[in-house]
Structure 1
Amino acid sequence: MAQVSDILDAKGRDVLRIDASATVLDAVEAMVEGNVGALLVDDGGRLTGIVTERDYLRRVTLEGRDERTTPVRDIMSAPFVYVGPDATIDECMAIMTERRFRHLPVLDDENELAGIVSIGDVVKFQSREQGVQIKFLTEFISG
């Protein structure tokens, strides 16, 4: 059964981070520049949360906060949910669906960051896997 590590091997393990004391505007700019929907948040060299586009909409826009002065730590989701690299793709999909997450950090056995997967990564991986299976079955039947 496919694991999260298979997705990370294909897409890479680079993850954008931001300091907890940075402004929300800094976070939005970093997400736009990186073309990502989430950043992991560091506080004193320790991962403490995740900030997403949804956090911005709910905790800045709707609450009327100023993105130029509000620190990321005030709007980030913490503690954050994560999986290990050996988690199955099905487990990731279940967590993302049940908790309504679009981004899931991956931490190894030493709680070191191994990467992050998005719902788009999971769907792309599943689609590719199904394509391979369909091709194999078609060749088998055609014989």
Structure 2
Amino acid sequence: MTNVAQVLQDKIEQTTFTISPEATVLEAISLMANKGIGAVVVTDQDKVVGILSERDYTRKVMLMERTSKETAVQEIMTAKVLTVTKSTSVETCLDLMTDRHLRHLPVVENDRLIGLISIGDLVKAVMDDQRKLIDQLQQYIAS
């Protein structure tokens, strides 16, 4: 089965966007809107300290009547971030994401952020694996 290293290699967009925990929520949501992304990794000197998603914003700013200009990212980010490594299997990632209701997983190596994978990246990888298996089986049957 495919692992995270292969998923990262196959991704069209390799850039992982990060933000400081001291940045304002307005800066974070502006970054997400400008880049067309649903989450941004919060880092301090390349170490993952949190993740901020659109869901965090709606639940912890809008619904609690905070202001985006005055609220720091560290006040609303998800601080207990589940991370994976390049050797983690796609199946394991999908299990983690399903069980914990996550849409994004930061990828770390030596405690440093090296990428971010989404549920969409993993679904694409599974579909590619299934397509390859079907092709192999069809070739086997035809020969």
Fold equivalence (TM over 0.5): yes
If the length of structure 2 is used for normalisation, what is the TM-score? 0.92
The letter for the 2-side match of 1:116 is L
**For structure 2, which runs of at least 5 residues remain unmatched after alignment?**
none
User: 2:47 touches 2:113 (CA, 8 Å); kept in 1?
Assistant: no
Contact 2:47-2:112 at 8 Å conserved across structures: no
Q: Where does structure 1 lack aligned partners over 5 or more consecutive residues?
A: none
Counterpart secondary structure, 1:134: helix
Deviating runs (4+, > 6 A) in structure 1? Answer: none
- The sequence identity of aligned pairs, in percent, is 37
How many residue pairs get matched?
A: 142
CA distance in 1 between partners of 2:46 and 2:135 (Å) = 46
Q: Does 1:117 align with 2:117?
A: yes
**Does the aligned pair in 1 maintain the 2:20–2:42 contact within 8 Å?**
yes
Report what 2:35 is aligned to: 34
Aligned partner of residue 40 in structure 2, secondary structure: strand
Counterpart for residue 3 of structure 2:
3
**For 2:81, what is the secondary structure of its paired residue?**
coil
Give 1:1-143 correspondences, 5 Å limit: 1-11=1-11, 13-43=14-44, 46-108=47-109, 110-143=110-143
Q: For residues 85 and 67 of structure 2, what CA distance do their matches in structure 1 show?
A: 35
Give the superposition deviation at 1:67. 1.0
* RMSD between superposed Cα atoms in Å: 1.4
Per-residue CA deviations over 1:44-96 (Å, capped at 9, x if unaligned) read 65431110111111111111111121111111000211011111111100100
